[in-house]
Structure formats: C-alpha cells, structure tokens
Amino acid sequence: MTKKLRSNFDPGTTRWAIRRAQWRALGLSDADMLKPKIAVVNSSSELSICFSHLDEVAALVKDGIREAGGIPFEVRTSAPSDFITGAGRGGRYLMPTRDLLVNDIEVAVEGAVLDGMVCLSSCDKTAPAHMMAAARLNLPSLLVIGGYQACGRLHDEPVDIEDVFESVGELATGGTSIRHIEELCEVAVKSPGVCAGMGTANTMHIMAEAVGMTLPGSAPVAAYGTRMREMAFAAGRRIVGMVAEDLRPRDILTPGAFANAIAVGLAVSGSINMLRHLQAVAEEGGVPVDVYRLIDQLGAVVPLLCAIKPNGPGRIEDLERAGGTLSVMKRLEPILQGDAITVSGRSVRDVLADVRIEADTVVGTMDRPAAPGPSVVILRGTLAPEGAIMKLGSGKKDVFQGPCRVFESQEDALAALGRGEITGGQVIVLRGLGARGGPGVASASWFVAAVNGAHLGEDIAVITDGQLSGLNRGMTVGQVMPEAADGGPIGVVSDGDEVIIDIQARRIDLLVDAVEVERRLSALPSFRSTEKAGWLALYQDLVQPLTKGGVLRPKS
C-alpha cells in the first residue's frame, strides 16, 4: 500500500498516541497500524432469524480482509426486522431505524477515521441504510448480501412466511384456526435469512447489485449456502483493493446506475418500497436523479422478465439457480447503461460480457417475457398530486371505483375486517400513517395481508400513505404523496366519497368537487407533532417527504 491512508495519524499527535495505546492493547502490531483499516458493519441480532447468521458471515469477511493485507474492525448497529421490530407502535420504528442505522454507521466509521467498510445486509431496512451511509460518507464501501431463508412444507405443500403473514385474515373470516397457524409457524422458516419471496429484502439485495454496490453475482443468494460464504470472503478481499484504487461510492452511484437498478426492479416486479429507498440513496449521495420519473420513463420499455412469489409461481431459489440479478441484467443489456461502474472495478458492460444464460430458465427475454410491462406504475391525480405507487399483476381490474371507508390506524381497519364490515366494492383508506404523520411510515401491510388472507384482495382497493410490505398484493396503492400530515388530499377523504383508480390512464382521483376539496383542505388544522420525546420525536421533526426518500435533514 503506497497511498497515504487517512487512518494513519501523524506520530506525536494526541489522537495518534491515545489510539495507539488502545489498539496495542487489542493486540495490533506496528505493521498492523499502517494497514488499511476496514469497518465490518454487522447488524447481528438474536431477536430475528434474519440476522442470526451474520456473526459467521462477519468472520469470513474479516478473514478476506486480513488475507488481502487489511485490518478489520467489526462494529455493531441496530438490527431492524419488520416482523419483530414492527410489533411495537404499529410498525412506527421500522423506517426511522433505517435512518438511525445510517447515522450509527457515520458515527462508527467517521468517528474512528477508518478507510473503508463492508456492510452485511439482511432484512428490509439494512441494505438501503448501508447504501445511504456509503453514499453519504463516500468512502470505499461494498455490501455483502446475507441471503434468503429456507422454507418448509406442511401436508406436502410449500410454506413460507407469506403464508403465515396472510393467515390472520383467514382466521378473521373463519377460514383457518389458531392450531393451523401454529402448524404453519413450525415449518415456515427453516434457516437464517430474509423472507423467501420478492419482498423488500430480496428486492433491495437485487437493487444493491444492480446499482453496482455488491460484487457481481451476489443476489439473490441462499443464506444457508456455500456461495454466500464465498461471496463474503471475496468481499473482504475486494474492499482492500478498493481502498488502494480509491474507488468510492459516488464513482459508482451515478444517474446511469440508478436507471439500471430501476430497469431491473421493473423486470422482477420488486417491492414498491425500492423507490423510496433508492431515492434516499440518491439524496444522501447528492445524485441528481428522480427514481419516480425513471419508473415513468422505463416502464414503457421494460417487461416483467420473471414472476417470483408473490408476483407469480416462481420461487426466489429459482431465480438464484437461473443466474439471479446478472441474468436479468443480461436480458436487459440493450437498454442498460453499460458504462456504469461496479465495486468490482469493472463496467456493467464488461461484467455482462461473461454472463451466459441457459435456455430453460425462469428469466424470460425481452421478446418473450413472463408478462408485458410495466410491473410498477406511478399513479397521479387529485388524490395523489405528487404520485402514488401501485404494483401491477394478474387479476387487477383496469378501473376500480367505489365508496371510501376511512381509517386512521391499521388496528381500527383490522378490527373492522374481523367484524365483517369490509366488503367487496369498497375503497379502504388508511391515512395519517406517513413518514411525518405516523411518524415513520406506520404499518398498513398487516391489514393488506389480512385482506388477502380473507380473499378480498381483488374485490376491494386499499389506499394508504403508510407502510406496505413487498409481500403485499391485490388492488393496493401505497405511498400516497403528499401524505395527510403534509396537507395531502388523502387527509380530507370522508366515508362515502368515491375514488376511481384508472390503471391505463395512470390516474387516482377523488370524485369530489374541487371547490369542496379545497374547502376541506383549508379547514384542516396545521399538523402538530404527536411525539414529545425519544427517537420518534426526533425523526418526526427532521424527516423529509418520501418524494425525497424520507431522509433526515436539519430544520432550516
């Protein structure tokens, strides 16, 4: 290593002396003191199966760093798991923990003045947080994908966490029993890793590779397989090379790289949450890109290339066997930005030159896709002037119109479902759950899962400014912008108002006279913070709209 490392302090200074004393006590030699110092950012936790294997992964990364001539320092962060952390406060801690992670990493890596970092990404919020931190700090960085969990079988039928997720709705309508749900729970998760479907976690793993922030071939990957472990070791070796080359995230995270990621996201029908997260990465890195406009632009040319559950019959392991993200990108190669650079130091064009796809695969071609595109659309109209997101798929009506039933919380909506008050033809509005209003984009996903479990998913529409899961399906419109707390029209919808969703026209409109809507908006009281102390109060005070990725910014 010939370059001057920022971590090598001038001898005789106070920070050199006190750090030397600390690190000598940890067993570092004089030679170690001069090597590249790499943070291994580990969100290991015993609270969730998503993270339970990451200590083993961290050890492999550290071995790779040492072999390549660096010194690893493992640092721990918060570990938000949607199905565990979401239990408290109606899921309000989930999105805020993404940004808590970003700041946690900044403190650990910038405070210690390290030279680079490898981030171990697992559940939904970790991969976007790791990319956001990398974009903000702009130090050599890459992500290691923690992988997806193995699932089991019950009565010779495959069972995964999505089946458990939706079973509550079946229970509410008498379609199942507590005993059967307990049986599902026994077999749904059979190994460490994230939910085994095209939910937000696997989507963001794929996005991390598509945007260039993982080693090529990283996602999706089985958490229980040898390939993931090999990638972890290789990542440890590679980060030392990135420090030597001074290859930084903002060299990688270009507008073209984001366009590539959105193209891949459309091709796999990724979770709608990918948009807010990718926009947040762009905001942290100062990248001039609007991912919502990219959906509009690329949706017209990108078909659905693979239909992985919940989008179709395919399973995430089928996509891995077919070559994963690289195979999807190879199919999309004619429309990708080939000059975009990856953490490997190679361009997308050079990486894809080595990719071969078998003829019999779950990944379709541009001429013979799994389904026509687009798989995700932005709807705009009088109910969502700044846009709302809808994932398309089979079974959805081109036009849905119905009377609204308005709820201010997921809990109230679930109670109404349990009482049999939600019936076909209704438009269910869950509001006041956005980034600021929630705060933290409070959950609406449990309600949507219960609706699907109750077999109402195609018979009603659900519209929300709250949090949806990548596993949600049905006639569901999420991330309505502006949210209710920011004066969006969703905040003045009344029971009985009619809403129309026109997919072909990309419209979502409140069928109330414009003068009346304006009267209602003007009568709304100014939003007042609902949180008086703690992390959620700080988040509510600082969070920006989801059009800006929901990042945190100081008040001007």
The values of phi and psi at residue 474, to 5°, are 100, -170
- Rounded CA separation 252/143 (Å): 13
- Rounded CA separation 485/328 (Å): 39
Q: Which residues pair with 387 in a beta bridge?
A: 481
- Rounded CA separation 290/134 (Å): 19
* Tokens representing residue 518 in the block: 């304006």
* Tokens representing residue 189 in the block: 């998760």
Closest to 61 in 3D by CA, of 195, 212, 194, 228: 228
Q: What is the dihedral of CA 502, 507, 511, 513, to 10 degrees?
A: -150
Q: Tell me if the bond preceding 128 is cis, omega within 30° of 0.
A: no
Helices 324-332, 255-268: inter-axial angle, 10-degree rounding: 100
Sign of CA dihedral 132, 58, 221, 148: negative
* Tokens representing residue 317 in the block: 């392991």
Find out whether 513 and 422 touch, Cβ atoms under 8 Å: no
* Tokens representing residue 51 in the block: 């993270």
* Tokens representing residue 522 in the block: 């003007």
Considering the candidates 469, 494, 526, 556, report the single residue annotated as catalytic. 469
Closest to 196 in 3D by CA, of 167, 224, 171, 222: 222
Find out whether 193 and 149 touch, Cβ atoms under 8 Å: yes
Chain-centroid distance of CA 433 in Å reads 18
- Report which residue type is found at 31: A
Q: What is the 3-state secondary structure (H, E, C) of 483-501?
A: CHHHCCHHHHCCCCCEEEE
Q: How many CB atoms lie within 10 A of CB 195?
A: 27
C-alpha distances out from residue 497 to 147, 272, 480, Å: 44, 26, 17
- Rounded CA separation 551/211 (Å): 19
C-alpha distances out from residue 185 to 153, 188, 454, Å: 11, 5, 19
Find out whether 120 and 54 touch, Cβ atoms under 8 Å: yes
- Rounded CA separation 498/149 (Å): 42
Query: What are the b/e assignments for 423-462, b being 16+ CB within 10 Å?
Result: eeebbbbbbbbbbbbbbbbbbbbbbbbbbbbbebbbbbbb
Active site annotation includes 52 = no
**Furthest C-alpha separation in the chain:** 75
The residues that are catalytic are: 469
